[in-house]
Structures are given as structure tokens and as C-alpha cells.
Amino acid sequence: MYYPRTFNSPQIGTAWFGTHVTIIHCNYHTGETLSLFQSDHAPYEPVAKTCAETLSRYISIGYTLIGAFPLNDREIQYVLQYK
């Protein structure tokens, strides 16, 4: 029987296709990067001390800013997507 290979089903030894997500958590009063979370195998850059530089690095390698969400009166979370 012929079974066509589909790219939507996971297969051992094949490259992963899809979207990566990175979340950058910052203090917007001081401009400091607090933490960074990302999906497995996502392209990455070193985290800078300042949030603006961290965002700049990720945007320069192809990430797109999806949204910025205030968490409280000092912190903001940026969600970036890489396709």
C-alpha cells in the first residue's frame, strides 16, 4: 500500500515545522529584563540587561511582536512569534 508522507504528523528524524513563541517579562519603570521564556528549539539571542535591547535583538532575527500586556503597576510581558 502507498502511504503518502504528510508534514502535519510527527515523524522521528524530521525537522520541526511551525511557529515559535518567546515571552519577555520586563519592568517598565527601570527598563530591566526580568525573565525570558521560549518554546523548545526556538531561535534565540542572548538576553540583555535592558528590555529595549532584548526586544531589539529578537526583532532583528525575525520575531514579530504579537502583543504587550501589563501584568501589574511595574511589569509588562511581551509576546513575540517566529514563523
Mean pLDDT value of segment 6-24: 66
Indicate the pTM of the whole model. 0.77
Return the domain boundaries, the chain.
20-82
Q: Are 77 and 38 in contact (CB under 8 A)?
A: no
Q: Is 18 left (phi over 0), alpha (psi -120 to 50) or beta?
A: left
Q: Residue 22 burial by CB count (10 A; 0-12/13-18/19+): exposed, middle or buried?
A: buried
Grid coordinates representing 29 are 519603570
Share of the chain above pLDDT 90, in %: 69
Q: Are 59 and 65 in contact (CB under 8 A)?
A: yes
User: What pLDDT sits at residue 83?
Assistant: 86
